[in-house]
Amino acid sequence: MPVMINDQTLQFHLQGKDVSYVFHVMKNGQLGQLYFGKKIRNRSDFSHLSKRESRVTSSYVYDDDSTFSLDLIKQEYPGYGTSDYREPAFQIEHPDGSRISDFTYQSYELIKGKPRLSGLPATYVEDDGEADTLVIHMYDKVTNLSLSLMYSVYHGRNVITRSALFTNHGEETHVIKRAHSASVDFPDADYEMIQLSGSWSRERHMSERKLSPGIQSIQSTRGTSSAQHNPFLALKRPMTTEHTGEVYGFSFVYSGNFQAQVEVDHYQTARMTMGINPFDFSWTLGSSASFQTPEVVMAYSKHGLNELSQTYHDLYQSRLARGKWRDAERPVLLNNWEATYFDFDEKKLLSIAEKAKETGVELFVLDDGWFGKRNDDRTSLGDWFVDSKKLPEGLPNLASKLNDMGLLFGLWFEPEMVSKESELYQKHPDWVIQVPGRSNSIGRHQLVLDFANPEVVDYIYEQMATILNEANINYVKWDMNRYMTEIGSLSLLKNQQAEVPHRYILGVYELYERLIEAFPHVLFESCASGGARFDPGMLYYAPQAWTSDDTDAMERLSIQYGTSLVYPLSSMGAHVSAVPNHQVKRITSLETRANVAYFGAFGYELDVTKMNKDELKEMTEQIRWYKENRQLLQYGAFYRLRSPFEQKGNVTSWMSVSSDQTKAIVGYYQVLAEPNPSFKRLYLKGLAAEKEYEVSGYEGTYFGDELMNAGIQLSSGYDGSQTGGLEESGDFSSHVFVLVETDQNNRGGEV
Ligand code: DGJ
């Protein structure tokens, strides 16, 4: 039974595959948290798990019970103002100016399956048997507001999802100041917090810190989830590794301003809260109106970070991403951005496409610069009609020429933006995010369209739909290249101005939803100056995302490794680009560039017409090999073996294993060559202990248990005398090797 309810003690026990989550109704009618962790057996009453002694300095709710201080008690969705001094999950300002709410338990509802969240991305079920949902209905009698806390537990996964819904049943208007989606009070604070942080071209680097008293917080105030911090955090025990120990994950299915934090209090307990960033946010809740928070996906692993990642990969790949492309092998693409930037015409594009086709590329993507008068990044965003100087025969014609070559055609848009120098801006200066009387800061010479205004969303939909209808387009790269400033909307009332960032994101979701409904065959790839909006919210609409503008193979090791903490390989756009690399000027071999990019949705981003014969031959072979293995590379179980964030980051290794464990592909990468290096072994993961494998580059066969426990000896190639094994020498070297189960009849060896 995934949800066990005791109607006497009003205790709720959610059980996933190997996880339990227990809470109850406390004596003040609010919800108290009892347990979150490894699956435990049910009992009629767990309330002892929340017992506290009184503390002389505490404020307490009842005169005759000094132990009942909310400061001491683990809570489920805490408010501020009634004896708990930690940061709350929510806060509402009422018409009388007060900020105290008291939501008390009314009833519960048990739903088979998992309801969708209206207007918001969320994980889903395909069959109601996959999950159960518990909704706890709470009510504040003084304000006539209700709060419904929704919990879904997936059978067979270690995942519990949460969200909250506020509804105003009274006549007066209230203002939500803070509405997080989930809050978890941990009984101790002996954890390390892992976050994915960075900046443009170095997104989602893993960093860790030991929890210490006070608040440790990550957030975005930029209007997108951002490159600076991903909407994710994990709490792991200090001894937890990639493959052992306990870890909790919290991932926010949202693409705008978020906050995720852990507060360690004076009793060394830890409160994790996650949701829309309360900074610069408020929401006016009029009579009969509701406010739905986005979803937080909580995951649990008793076997380290890698298992946590696999839980997210599997869920996000199969029950967050949607549509025709969700489970499909992703096409090998060639994108013209780093090949031509803005400098192209049809002839040039077709000559690149032709060569690309010869090497085995399947999809040609025309990036920025095809519309308006866009010869640089100062102009034309918003004018979504073809530049007839560059493409005199138009997009439909270009598409059919590419189709005739046997290529799919993909196109770049930046729907949320407008250039000052554009017809759209001349016509509608009122359609940009702005604060009257203030000048508008610029980013990449462009302004942000007011997607909080439905009229703007409608207009952009029409523009994009026209293009998608008239040309045969199979892929759209949806870019977003600046953060928000001077946030305000001319379409909203004064008291709604702090709603703009959230309404904007709802507008983005609305546009995506309409487009994927009207053009279900299109593969969407999200992008925001590279990976500045690589989040679960986007994956609901676009099953892949451009991981980073940094295409350097060595930089990509950290970026892809960090990204893999939450996101599946099928979602990570990864391209081979030219050298010297355009971002860091590094020169790496074509082999190493492909060896890194293979572990993702693979493609090229260079001018193939400038490649020599040998390079083209190598590229052709790379594509042939990738196609043969892409099912495994995009959808296999992913294991991180060596971290670029440890041991001076010189070695990274990872592998993908097929679901039947008959095949695996390992990537091994070394940044700098070492003189007279130590003897290295690589311990593989995820193989079947009893299966016997051939390993490319090695003589003989090996059982899975040997490969995982004794490992394989890596050859450094340092003195050139070794034969067989991994030939590692020189800077930026890499090796990909393939393990295939030997013929079933050819088995030997006993355990
Ligand atoms: C930023 C993206 O990340 C790049 O890949 C490219 O599409 C440029 N924008 C185009 O302006």
Residue 717 above 70 pLDDT? Answer: no
For atom 9 of ligand 1, the residue with the nearest CA is 529
* 628 and 657 inside one domain: no
Check pocket membership of 527 for ligand 1, CB cut-off 6 A: yes
Question: Do 311 and 347 belong to one domain?
Answer: no
Element (H, E) at 449: none
To test ligand 1's pocket by mutation, which of 549, 550, 572 has the most ligand atoms within 8 angstroms of CB? 549
Considering 262, 293, 319, which residue would you say is the last residue of a domain? 319
Q: Look at residues 586, 607, 635 and tell me which one is the last residue of a structural domain.
A: 635
Which CATH number goes with the domain that contains 624? 3.20.20.70
Which tens digits make up the pLDDT trace of 5-42?
A: 999 999 999 999 999 999 999 999 999 999 999 999 99
Q: Give the model's pLDDT for residue 537.
A: 98
Same domain, yes or no: 283 and 311: yes
Domain co-membership, 662 together with 608: no
* Token pair for 174: 């209230």
Do 151 and 73 fall within a single domain?
yes
Cβ–ligand 1 contact at 550 (below 6 Å): no
Which of 367, 479, 550, 552 is labelled catalytic? Answer: 479
Same domain, 274 and 168: yes
Q: Indicate which CATH number applies to the domain containing 681.
A: 2.60.40.1180
Average pLDDT, the chain: 96
Q: Are 123 and 296 in contact (CB under 8 A)?
A: no
Distance in Å, CA 52 to ligand 1 centroid: 55
Same domain, 568 and 656: no
Ligand 1 centroid to Cα of residue 479, in Å, is: 7
Ligand 1 centre and the CA of 95: distance in Å?
47
Nearest-atom index, ligand 1, CA of 530: 3
Q: How far is the CA of 295 from the centre of ligand 1 (A)?
A: 29
C-alpha span between 135 and 112 (Å, rounded) = 11
CB 479 less than 6 A from any atom of ligand 1: yes
Q: Determine, yes or no, domain membership for 325.
A: no
CATH number reported for the structural domain that contains residue 259 in this entry:
2.70.98.60
- Across the range 410-422, mean pLDDT stands at 98
What is the reported pLDDT for 648? 79
- Among 329-343, 481-495, 703-717, 725-739, which stretch is predicted with the lowest mean pLDDT? 725-739
Tell whether ligand 1 has an atom less than 6 A from the beta carbon of residue 367: yes
**pTM (2 decimals)?**
0.97
Q: Is 581 in the pocket of ligand 1 (CB under 6 A)?
A: no
Distance CA 657, CA 665 (A): 7
Q: Which residue's CA is the nearest one to ligand 1's atom 11?
A: 368
Q: pLDDT for 479-511, tens place per residue?
A: 999 999 999 999 999 999 999 999 999 999 999
Span 348-354, average pLDDT: 98
Question: What pLDDT does residue 715 have?
Answer: 79
Give the mean pLDDT of 549-578. 98
Pairing of strands 408-413, 202-210: unpaired
- Work out the pLDDT band at 674, boundaries 50, 70, 90: confident
Tokens of 432: 């940009």
Report how many domains make up the chain: 3
Residue 114 CA to chain centroid, in angstroms? 21
Same domain flag for 120 and 249: yes
Q: Is 29 left (phi over 0), alpha (psi -120 to 50) or beta?
A: left
Peptide bond into 520 cis (omega under 30): no
For the Cβ of 529 lying below 6 angstroms from any atom of ligand 1, the answer is: yes
Q: Are 232 and 251 contacting, i.e. CB atoms less than 8 angstroms apart?
A: yes
Say what the pLDDT of residue 650 is.
Answer: 93
Whole-number pLDDT of residue 726: 44
In a domain, 327, yes or no: no
Can you spell out the DSSP letters for 279-337?
TT--EEE-TT-EEE--EEEEEEESBHHHHHHHHHHHHHHHHTS-STTSSSPPPPEEESH
Residue 602 lies in a domain: yes
Indicate whether 600 pLDDT > 90. yes
Whether 25 and 91 share a structural domain: yes
Is residue 477 assigned to a domain?
A: yes
Instruction: Looking at the structure, tell me whether residues 244 and 355 fall in a common domain.
Output: no
Residues 443 and 555 placed together within one structural domain of the fold: yes
Give the pLDDT confidence score for residue 53 in this predicted structure.
Answer: 87
Residue 413 Cβ inside 6 Å of ligand 1? The answer reads: no
Centre of ligand 1 to C-alpha 613, Å, is 29
Whether 749 is covered by a domain: the verdict is no
Compute, in angstroms, the gap from residue 500 CA to the centroid of ligand 1: 25
- 45 is known as an active-site residue: no
121 inside domain: yes
Domain end marker among 274, 291, 319: 319
Catalytic annotation present for 719: no
Domain extent, residue 517, equals 333-635
Q: Is 673 a member of any domain? A: yes
Q: Report if residue 751 sits inside a domain.
A: no
Please give the pLDDT value at position 51.
83
Query: Mean of the pLDDT values across residues 100-113?
Result: 98
Q: What is the pLDDT of residue 751?
A: 44
Task: Name 48's Cβ contacts closer than 8 Å, sequence gap at least 6.
Answer: none
**Three-state SS at 6:** strand
Q: Rounded to whole angstroms, what are the CA distances from 608 to 333, 352, 370, 620?
A: 12, 6, 20, 11
Contacts of 241 (CB under 8 A, 6+ apart): 304, 305
Would the CB of 337 count as within 6 Å of ligand 1? yes
**pLDDT value at residue 723:** 42
Shared domain for 302 and 375, answered yes or no, is no
Q: 414 C-alpha vs ligand 1 centroid, how far in Å?
A: 9
Ligand 1: residue of 479, 559, 575 to mutate (most ligand atoms within 8 A of CB) is 479
